[in-house]
Amino acid sequence: MNTATALSTIDWVPVAPFIALSVLGFLIMLIGLYFPRIYRETLGTIALIGLAITFFLVLQNWGGPRYAFSNTIVGDKFSTVFNGLFVIGAALTILLSLNSQENRYVLYADYFTVIIFATAGMVLMSAGTHLLTIFLGLETLSIALYVLAGFRRENEFSLESAFKYFLLGAFASGFLLYGIAFVYGATGSAEIQAVTQWIQQNGLTGSWMLPVGFLLLFIGLGFKLAIFPFHMWAPDVYQGAPTPISAFMATGSKAAAFAALLRIAVGTQSYAALGWEQVLWIIAVASMTVGNIIALRQDNIKRMLAYSSIAHAGYILVGFIANNELGHSGMLFYLLSYTFMNIGAFGVISYLSTADHEFVTLQDMRGLAYRRPFAAIAMAVFMFSLAGIPPTAGFISKFYIFSAAVKAGYVWLVILGVINSMISLYYYLGVIVQMFMSATDEKAPVPAAQQPAVALALVVSIFAVLGLGIFPSRWLAVFMEMARSFI
Amino acid sequence: MTDFPILTTITVLPALGALALLFFPKESEKGQKLFALLVTLVTFILSIPIYFNFDANTSAFQFVERYSWIEALGANYYVGIDGISLFMVLLTTFLSPLIILSSWTAIRKSVKGFLVSMLLLETGMLGVFISLDLLLFYVFWEAMLIPMYFIIGIWGGERRIYAAVKFFIYTMVGSLLMLVALIVMYLYVGRETGNYTFDYLVFREYLLPAGLQTWLFLAFGLSFAIKVPIFPFHTWLPDAHVEAPTAGSVVLAGVLLKMGTYGFLRFCLPLFPNASSQFAPLISILAVIGILYGAWVAMVQPDMKKLVAYSSVSHLGFVMLGIFTFTHQGLQGGLIQMVNHGLSTGALFLIVGMIYERRHTRLIADFGGLAKQLPIFTTFFMIVTLSSIGLPGLNGFIGEFLVLLGAFQTNQILTVFAASGVIFAAVYMLWMFRRVMFGPVTHEENKTLTDLNLREITVLVPIVIFIVWIGVWAQPFLGKMETSVDNLIRLVDAKKTAVLQMNDQHMWARGDK
């Protein structure tokens, strides 16, 4: 076949976001090479402009499905929504990284390049319709994150973080790849449509290899989701990684793993057929409970947020278990809200930290409201939202997910989820107590000077958290439409 | 004029005021206070026409506004008031400026934050009373916790953090169970009728099966019971009251506690009538225990504020008793008692706050013989004390009398016990009054106390006017709530019978097989 004609028949729209991100990544890398003394603000602006263009390209995929590259990539409502989320997450992460104090020694061009590549990986994970495409995305994402986690090279925790994440991540990739092999072995294809057809014709019990394959796939993604019992790495990794990266991992990477999970389990309609609801039920409850209870005892806010992210993965899993339109759109709404509130919460830490002192323990936060009212109020908004109190996005998210679960008949799961929300309240309030109700320590460290870029990210997140909480209608409608097109 | 969105205006105005306050320069504390006072005053003045335009001849909701809010879920911004919520709204707008005025000198630390919290709190409270959409109600119900949490936790006394966290977590535990019940009800009614909505009126018309009612009642009821608080869920209240600043205590006693009783009236009774009457004996007993227990514990308190706090438990027992008689008198008595308690106990907290500001102690033992020093203060304190113990001619009497009248029709023995609560109230209140006001002056510091200033008198006079007014001529108040109360009783009865018949039919059908 003539290469030229082959190229002309390709539908470029579904791949455009991925290509844009790749070009952007290389562009920033080259700029860094040729202009090593470029201001990081300039680099950040270029990255943000590039992300804005990508966002525009992402939106072009609304509708569909449009397949490209021999049915390995799709542009549909599902991928549009998820990719939009990833790009927003990446943009906020870049804003947080334009922190003038904390990452003083970081090589910004490399750093931004890797963030952009990680985002490209996420995009592949949500748009992939071939298991190998999804794997490719996951690896691109993971390798980028290993690098990012270790970016504070002078800090031993950062190195520990990177190494731990690398070892466990490689392990998880192994599971995923093995799972793909089993699915391929059973059905003769790794293309999601083909697998679906095979299941429709032969059923899941046709081959023992298929359930085993799905189990392995689930375990592989479970590591990325940081759900119980695959959550062990999260606290150490989040604690050691640069703060913006912790936020990026907790939101974007988790969302990407959920995208892949939905695409594989629900897209092939194997979830309903497998009948693993009971197991997932236990995993969801265990994730919430373990995350929340251990978070109660944390003095380090980054570790606390890590445990809380395990719990939140559990809540989101509730929407997955419900397995109805309400549940799937609820997951999306939750992930979007979570992106803002979690990046916001990490952002406040980043906003206050200096090169010498990471502003991360509860003691550091004492009396913050009287020293830095803006940071304290921002943190309070994010804490209330993470705790799920109206009128914030966190409330609507939980409400939506829980409604879906009740609708699917899981009343007890919801009651346990609600009890977990009560437990979590205690540690989220703990941060607020320290900031607003305790007097400042004499020896308290001095927070960083004003940092406009981080402040901008915080303001955007506050508006998003309150906006999604008070006027959720439009977004719920969009996600509902996505969920309907998806099943 | 009738189309003017008055409810939204008064609800949003304080929040807008709070937003505007954020842009005030930090140093201009006086300007901030004046501005907050102005905002609450304007809100109150705007709310007065609601009373006059309120049509007492209909039980339908009035001043209704409805806009689409979350279409995907069928939730609307849907507000309106009837005879039950009318006075709660007015009580809130009435107390708010007084509260701001009362904290003029008491609050020294971050004044701006305090005023912002107060204004947001007013918005939250009004929102709770006007919401006719259950999701909207829930949002206001929870959101209102946040400012109150800060008010206790930042401007409170020594153990404020403990009290604030306890307040928050207690209330949240109840609320979250209510949330689950709300979801269950929403989906059940949606599935049965095909109309997924949070519209209060739809739920009010719908007949829920008796079994489901029990569970929903328990979940909603627990949430409201904690808020009221009904014995044995009251333990957060003394802590919160004692630690909160005066303004916080006034809001808490004046309005927040009423949300619990209001919740029973608005939701539990009409939505779960069978469960309500099923649980009525239990709740009545708990209410009477609350009346007696609150009174006895109040009697032995050395701290004036704690005494008033426990007296709240006792007074709200009367309200609950009245509501769960399902009689005309009982319900009206309960409703008017809600207003009365807001006025009297609110005023008592203000008075305790005023004396605390002078002496920095609230222990009864530290006072004595104040009457000679502080004649104006004594006069106000006397009137409010008498109102609180239900002296005929003042407001407290009307409410308690009606409640007991209603209760007597349903359960005489309980009524006897409840009535003895009135006597105990006289004992603890008058005893405290005597120890604080009369006798020799035993402490040197008390000789130099100054009497109330003009600002403090301005705070108390409006409350006293209403205390006397309701006591002497309650008709303007009772008249406005009559139709709604009657309608509520009728509705509860009709639904109860209909649900029972529905069950009978089911049984009949099963027997037929």
- CB-based contact B187 A403, cutoff 8 Å: yes
| B184: closest chain A residue by CA | A406
Suggest the residue from A365, A418, A466, A476 to mutate for an interface test with chain B (most B CBs closer than 10 A): A418
This prediction's pTM:
0.91
pLDDT for the residue numbered A372: 87
Q: Is the dihedral of CA A273, A290, B174, A376 positive or negative?
A: negative
Highest mean pLDDT among A353-362, B27-36, B284-293: B284-293
Q: Does the pLDDT value for residue B410 go beyond 90?
A: no
What residue has token string 């790794």? A190
> What distance in Å separates the CA atoms of residue B364 and residue A417, rounded to the nearest whole number?
47
Q: Report the relative pairing of strands A73-75 and A66-68 from DSSP bridges.
A: antiparallel
C-alpha to C-alpha distance for A419 and A424, rounded to whole angstroms: 9
| CA closest to A478 among chain B residues | B72
Instruction: Choose among B143, B164, B169: nearest Cβ to A390.
Output: B143
Please check whether residue A381 is in contact with residue A344, taking contact to mean a CB–CB distance below 8 angstroms: yes
Separation between Cα atoms, residue A57 and residue A22, nearest integer Å: 13
| Three-state DSSP class for residue B75 | strand
How many residue contacts between A and B have a Cβ separation below 8 Å? 88
C-alpha dihedral, B281 to B285 to B288 to B290, nearest 10°: -130
CB-CB neighbors (< 8 A) of A414 in chain B: 180, 183
Task: Say which amino acid occupies B296.
Answer: W
Q: To which H or E segment does residue A74 belong?
A: strand A73-75
> Would you say B71 and A473 are in contact if contact means Cβ atoms under 8 Å apart?
yes
In one-letter notation, the amino acid at residue B200 is Y
What is the spatial distance between Cα B315 and Cα B237, in angstroms, rounded to a whole number?
13
Rounded to the nearest 10°, the torsion over CA B121, B124, B125, B126 is 120
**CA nearest to B309, candidates B326, B290, B287, B328:** B290
With 70 as the cut, is the pLDDT of residue B229 above it? yes
Domain boundary assignment for chain B: 6-512
Task: Indicate the residue of A425, A426, A473 with minimum beta-carbon distance to B72.
Answer: A473
Show residues of chain B in contact with A330, CB under 8 Å: none
pLDDT digits (tens, 9 = 90+) for A173-230: 999 999 999 999 988 888 888 888 888 888 777 678 888 999 999 999 999 999 988 8
Which phi and psi (to 5°) does residue B419 adopt? -65, -35
- Quick one: tokens of B259? 């949300």
Low-confidence ranges of chain A (pLDDT < 70): 1-8, 100-106, 206, 487
Q: Are A402 and B180 in contact (CB under 8 A)?
A: yes
Bond from prior residue into A391 cis (ω within 30 degrees of 0): yes
Strand, coil or helix: what is B227? helix
Assign B372 to helix, strand or coil.
helix
Show which of residues 178-217 on chain B sit within 8 Å of chain A, judged by CB atoms.
179-180, 183-184, 186-187
Beta bridge partners of B303: B363
Higher pLDDT, B72 or B404: B404
Per-residue pLDDT for B508 more than 60? no
Instruction: Tell me the shortest Cα–Cα distance from B184 to chain A, in angstroms.
Output: 7
Q: Which residues of A37-72 are buried (b: 16+ CB within 10 A; e: fewer)?
A: eeebeebbebbbebbebbbebbebbbebbbbbeeeb
Q: Cβ–Cβ of B180/A415 closer than 8 Å?
A: yes
Q: Which among A348, A346, A301, A343 has a CA at the least distance from the CA of A447?
A: A348
Of B70, B168, B173, the CB nearest to A473: B70
Q: What is the mean pLDDT of chain B?
A: 89
Spell out the alpha helix ranges (H) of A228-324: 233-240, 243-248, 254-261, 270-274, 277-296, 301-322
Closest CA to A341 of A232, A446, A424, A451: A424
* Residue linked to tokens 């006075």: B87
Q: What is the pLDDT of residue B1?
A: 43
Classified as helix, coil or strand, B81 is strand
| pLDDT per position as a tens digit, A285-328 | 999 999 999 999 899 999 999 999 999 999 999 999 998 888 99
Interface check B173 vs A, CB under 8 A = yes
Give the integer Cα–Cα distance in Å for A220 and B458: 70
Q: Which helix (H) or strand (E) holds B68?
A: strand B62-70
CB atoms within 10 A of CB B447: 10
Q: How far is CA A356 from the centre of its chain?
A: 29
* Euclidean distance between CA atoms A262 and A85, whole angstroms: 15
- Cα(B147)–Cα(B158) distance, rounded to whole angstroms? 19
- Residues in B closer than 8 angstroms to A370, CB to CB, are 110
Secondary element (H or E) of residue A3: helix A3-9
> Nearest-CA neighbor of B236 among B303, B173, B147, B319?
B173
Q: How confident is the model at residue B367 (pLDDT cuts 50, 70, 90)?
A: confident
What the block records as the tokens of A121 is 């990986």
Q: What is the pLDDT of residue A106?
A: 60
Nearest chain A residue to B137 by CA: give it. Answer: A390
**Residues shown for chain A:** 487
pLDDT-above-70 percentage for chain B:
97
Give the residue on B whose Cα is nearest the Cα of A371: B110
Half-sphere exposure of A180 (CA within 13 A, CB side): 21
Taking CA atoms, A276 is separated from A183, A271, A273, B195, in Å, by 17, 7, 8, 32
Q: Which residue of A has its CA nearest to B110?
A: A370
Nearest chain B residue to A432 by CA distance is B150
Distances (CA, A) of A277 to A222, A318, A417, B57, B312: 15, 10, 16, 55, 49
Q: How far is CA B148 from CA B10, B167, B377, in A?
A: 19, 9, 28
Confidence (pLDDT) at A101:
59
Give the other-Cβ count within 10 Å of B28's Cβ. 13
Q: What are phi and psi of A333, to 5 degrees?
A: -60, -40
Q: What's residue A157's pLDDT?
A: 85
Q: Is A433 on the interface with B (CB under 8 A)?
A: yes
B429-479 residue pLDDT tens: 999 999 888 888 888 888 888 888 889 999 999 999 999 999 888 888 888
Burial class (CB in 10 A: 0-12, 13-18, 19+), B427: middle
Query: Band of the pLDDT at B4, cuts 50, 70, 90?
Result: confident
Measured over the CA atoms of residue B285, residue B286, residue B288 and residue B293, the dihedral's sign is positive
Residue among B160, B165, B177 minimizing CB distance to A418: B177
**Angle of CA points B26, B27, B32, to nearest 5°:** 75
CA dist A471 and B66 (Å) reads: 15
Shortest Cα distance, chain A CAs vs residue B20, angstroms: 16
Chain B residue numbers touching A433 (CB-CB < 8 A): 153, 161, 164-165
Say how far residue B148 (Cα) sits from the centre of its chain.
14
Complex-level ipTM: 0.87
Q: What is the CA radius of gyration of chain B?
A: 23
Cis ω before B229 (30° cut-off from 0): yes
Helix (H) or strand (E) holding A73: strand A73-75
| Integer Cα distance of A466 and A459 in angstroms | 11
Count Cβ atoms within 10 A of the Cβ of residue B430 and give its class: 0-12 exposed, 13-18 middle, 19 or more buried: middle
Q: Quick one: how far is CA B94 from the chain centroid? A: 13
Is A480 in Cβ contact with B72 (below 8 Å)?
yes
CA distances to B53, B94, B390, B471 from B48, in Å: 9, 9, 27, 21
Which pLDDT score is estimated for A339? Answer: 95
Distance CA B464, CA B471 (A): 11
CB-based contact A144:A90 (threshold 8 Å)? no
Supply A347's token pair: 């952002």
Name the nearest CA neighbour of A408 among A319, A342, A347, A345.
A319
Helix (H) or strand (E) holding A341: helix A325-352
| Portion 307-336 of A in contact with B at CB < 8 A | 329
Cβ of B180 within 8 Å of Cβ of A395? The answer is no
d(CA A112, CA A147): 11
- Lookup: tokens for B330: 């009982």
Q: CB–CB of B368/B441 below 8 Å?
A: yes
